[in-house]
Structure 1
Amino acid sequence: MSDDASDDVSDATTEPTAGLTVAIIPARGGSKGVPRKNLRTVGGVPLVVRAIRAARDAAGIDLVVVSTDDDEIAAVSAEAGARVVRRPAEISGDTASSESAILHAVDEIESGIEARREKVGVIAFVQATSPFIPSEALAGAVAEVRAGRGDSVFSAHETYGFLWRREGDGDGAQATAINHEAAHRPRRQDREPHYLETGAFYVFRAAAFRRSRHRFFGRIRIAEVPEWTAIEIDDEQQLRLADALAAVHDQTQDAAARIDVRAVVTDFDGVHTDDTAIIDADGGERVRVSREDGMGVALLRRAGIPMLILSTEQNPVVRARAEKLRVPVLHGIDDKEQALRAWAEGEGIRLDDIAYLGNDVNDLPAMRIVGWPVAVANAHPRVLAAARVVLTRTGGNGAVRELVERVLPD
């Protein structure tokens, strides 16, 4: 953490802060630059869900809340494990401030916990437009405020850049140096670093925020984050750039991590099989499956983790294999998303707690709604792009077993 002095120290305190620590994610349905921005995906995951996960994974946060005026955002946020606060129309327009949404959300939260005599002590204002929020840095900011070492902490990255201001218009426009002398170009190691606000998160004491109605007050501190995480989504180009970064970063981060889910759902053709079929003279099909996958499914079943095979094909071979594996199957399914939603609701399992293993474009709707979209190694390029994890094995050659081993605890 770095310090940044503030002129307004009237709200400063060195005492630890009591009460709940609540992450609040404002997510309006309307967006001019990128329509339906908060639901657009980066690395196959909606922006609002990425923010929820980052806040949920940050130590010290007691409750994650999404403030929205939009039914679809509300549904997606609830499925991802957030509490939803419905934002009234008067603070949902283009000119409404984030501060107004946060104040409204805190009022709603505290009215719901009044019987427990708890108040919100610390607020973590998290922005869904920042797809790469480091949970560790967010947790560190929370710890600073809770311990009384800072009153307001924000994410920023170190920069040694030379900043300029453009003055005037047209042919008469000129550039003026801001943080340096134009005629003096010191080496990087001889320059003083500055810090560029990323907009990813702001953590502050709730009581002082109510008084100041602003996110900066008292002793302001900086939570340093890596520069590459600083991208904010304000246009389509930034969305494409974030998607490209996610393809590298997310899969690298998740490559060796355990897939922590409560259920596994898979496609059949191209996942349990190598996506080829032998057709006899009577039109019957034979497919090639992996005994290794069969053992993996048996281990999953013994661990008590539900599994479902969800297939577009209406074929006796699908049911025969499911019966052999002793797992339920839904086949002949045109709308995999709705079928998966219905199954998850019936099982009482949140979509965010499900891994879906697919290989082709008809799997994309189901992959987009689960917490862990997974692809076999030889999946369609669009499926690879949407996957949170890409396995090392191909369909019919142990991909299901690989997924099971990542799901089961050591």
Structure 2
Amino acid sequence: MSEPAADTACIILARGGSKGVTGKNLRPVGGVSLIGRAVRAGRAASGVAAVYVSTDDAEIAAEAALHGARIIDRPAALSGDTASSEAGWLHAVPLVREDLPALDKLVFLQCTSPFITGSDIDGCLAEMAARETDCALSVTEDHSFLWGLDAEGRGVGLNHNEREQRKRRQDLPPQYCESGAIYCVQLAPFLETGQRFCGSVALYPVDHPPIEIDSLQDFALCSQIAQAGGRSEIARARLAAVKAIVMDFDGVHTDNLVITDQNGVESVRTSRGDGMGIAALRDSGRYQMMILSKERNSVVLKRAEKLQLEVHHSVDDKVAALESWLAARDLDWGDLLYVGNDLNDGGAMEHAGLSACPSDAHSAILGIADWILPQPGGKGALRAMADVLLASGSLD
């Protein structure tokens, strides 16, 4: 994959204080914090050279850096309730220019929109270029009948005439609602006006859930959506490139706990839902599949036998084992989706064309994984992965 041109940066504002929901930017949706989700979306955009997080909070800075952001210390004067987003973005520009002297476009992302994807960002930038506008924003199509009040305080139709025969929704004039997720600007007019809407505007419709998180109820709803399956921030092209799936055992097929009885006999817990997902992937005939584990307990062999999967266990050097396994099947690293959860999986994940981990993986693994699955290990992570892969295949 070619490197993105160094003329476009993403800036995310994430202050520590939040009156509506305490610690909002650090709260997880689908196992990933809001700030982590925004950073990962920016990094997934092929047209973005670097992602910057401007924050006044050390915990947010650490979390953002974990997911690959560069950190800008946001002054207290620009971190209060009355400070505008534009003021924070303008403060960040000179610092970003130190890294990217050719900077001429900016992408502003909102942490409160948890379902942004890299493809959405690239689409918004492309629409701004195609329309030759000064700025662009993400929108959702809106088919609502809008009402306002007349001088007497009585209801009056805004996009329809309430005194005429009721129209069908699809016959209303096209209209769009600002999604609050993505704003793109050309740098020169933005600096000149100091406003995100700095001239001519392009609209880019997105199809992610149109929710901006402002309450605990919003978090609960978004968490349900994230865990429902069939959705992923990974681009379809990357999912379609997968020909082989190799999984660690402990912490991926299991919840990473072990029960030891008085005789030293160990047992683990696995998920029937995960088993159903693995069976569906196997039956699709699209993937070579294997369990690759450092664990020496025979429980790995028994679970693999139950799932009808090839298994290599007692393996210390996973990269070397995978080199041989892939070569024997005329595959390469770019064909591989590797799923791991702990430090000994890091090498394999960095080599694989696509890497994934459960939502409760080690923090270092969360930082390098391409795809953080919305469920913990042994509790639906592999089922969520299977649902997404099978859904993406049905769209080919």
Q: Contact (CA 8 Å) 2:147, 2:158: kept in 1 or not?
A: yes
Which of 300, 305, 320 is the equivalent residue of 1:302? 320
Instruction: Tell me the TM-score normalised to structure 2 length.
Output: 0.67
Q: Secondary structure of the equivalent of 1:120?
A: coil
Aligned equivalent of 2:225? 245
Deviation at 1:369, TM superposition (A): 5.0
Which of 101, 119, 142 is the equivalent residue of 1:136? 119
Distance 2:374 2:314 in 1: 17
Q: Contact (CA 8 Å) 1:23, 1:125: kept in 2 or not?
A: yes
Aligned runs of 1:203-352 on 2, under 5 Å?
203-226=184-207, 228-249=208-229, 257=239, 266-267=250-251, 270=254, 279=261, 283-287=263-267, 288-291=298-301, 292=304, 294-295=311-312, 298=315, 300-302=318-320
Distance 1:111 1:24 in 2: 14
Is 1:179 equivalent to 2:141 in the alignment?
no
Distance 2:321 2:9 in 1: 34
Deviation at 1:176, TM superposition (A): 3.3
Letter matched to residue 67 of structure 1: S
Distance 1:265 1:80 in 2: 24
Deviation at 1:294, TM superposition (A): 4.8
Which of 102, 125, 130 is the equivalent residue of 2:89? 102
Aligned equivalent of 2:280? none
Distance 2:73 2:194 in 1: 20
Deviation at 1:295, TM superposition (A): 0.9
Deviation at 1:142, TM superposition (A): 1.4
Letter matched to residue 32 of structure 2: V
Distance 2:22 2:383 in 1: 27
Aligned equivalent of 2:102? 119
Q: Contact (CA 8 Å) 1:20, 1:121: kept in 2 or not?
A: yes
Question: Which of structures 1 and 2 has the bigger CA Rg?
Answer: 1
Taking a change above 3 Å as real, the CA distance of residues 71 and 175 of structure 1, as seen in their structure-2 partners, is same
Q: Secondary structure of the equivalent of 2:299?
A: coil
Distance 2:87 2:244 in 1: 36
Aligned equivalent of 1:189? 170
Is 1:153 equivalent to 2:170 in the alignment?
no
Deviation at 1:244, TM superposition (A): 0.9
Q: Contact (CA 8 Å) 2:160, 2:172: kept in 1 or not?
A: no
Q: Contact (CA 8 Å) 1:52, 1:64: kept in 2 or not?
A: yes
Aligned equivalent of 1:322? none
Taking a change above 3 Å as real, the CA distance of residues 64 and 177 of structure 1, as seen in their structure-2 partners, is same
Deviation at 1:179, TM superposition (A): 1.9
Structure 2: runs of 5+ lacking an equivalent = 268-297, 305-309, 324-340, 387-396
Letter matched to residue 90 of structure 2: L
Taking a change above 3 Å as real, the CA distance of residues 212 and 375 of structure 1, as seen in their structure-2 partners, is closer
Deviation at 1:175, TM superposition (A): 3.2
Letter matched to residue 148 of structure 2: R
Distance 1:48 1:302 in 2: 35
Q: Contact (CA 8 Å) 2:135, 2:200: kept in 1 or not?
A: yes
Q: Contact (CA 8 Å) 2:252, 2:377: kept in 1 or not?
A: no
Distance 1:247 1:203 in 2: 29
Is 1:44 equivalent to 2:62 in the alignment?
no
Taking a change above 3 Å as real, the CA distance of residues 259 and 250 of structure 1, as seen in their structure-2 partners, is farther
Taking a change above 3 Å as real, the CA distance of residues 302 and 124 of structure 1, as seen in their structure-2 partners, is same
Q: Contact (CA 8 Å) 1:54, 1:133: kept in 2 or not?
A: yes
Q: Contact (CA 8 Å) 2:108, 2:183: kept in 1 or not?
A: yes
Q: Secondary structure of the equivalent of 1:200?
A: strand
Taking a change above 3 Å as real, the CA distance of residues 264 and 100 of structure 1, as seen in their structure-2 partners, is farther
% identical aligned pairs: 34
Q: Secondary structure of the equivalent of 2:16?
A: coil
Aligned equivalent of 2:336? none
Distance 2:95 2:377 in 1: 48
Distance 1:218 1:238 in 2: 33
Taking a change above 3 Å as real, the CA distance of residues 68 and 222 of structure 1, as seen in their structure-2 partners, is same
Aligned equivalent of 1:63? 50
Instruction: Tell me the TM-score normalised to structure 1 length.
Output: 0.65
**1:105-140 deviations in Å (ceiling 9; x for gaps):** 111111345xxxx23200111111101113223202
Distance 2:248 2:103 in 1: 36
The CA RMSD over aligned residues, in Å, is 4.2
Letter matched to residue 295 of structure 1: H
Taking a change above 3 Å as real, the CA distance of residues 367 and 167 of structure 1, as seen in their structure-2 partners, is farther
Distance 1:259 1:103 in 2: 45
Is 1:162 equivalent to 2:150 in the alignment?
no
Aligned runs of 1:20-99 on 2, under 5 Å?
20-99=7-86
Structure 1: runs of 5+ lacking an equivalent = 1-17, 306-335, 393-410
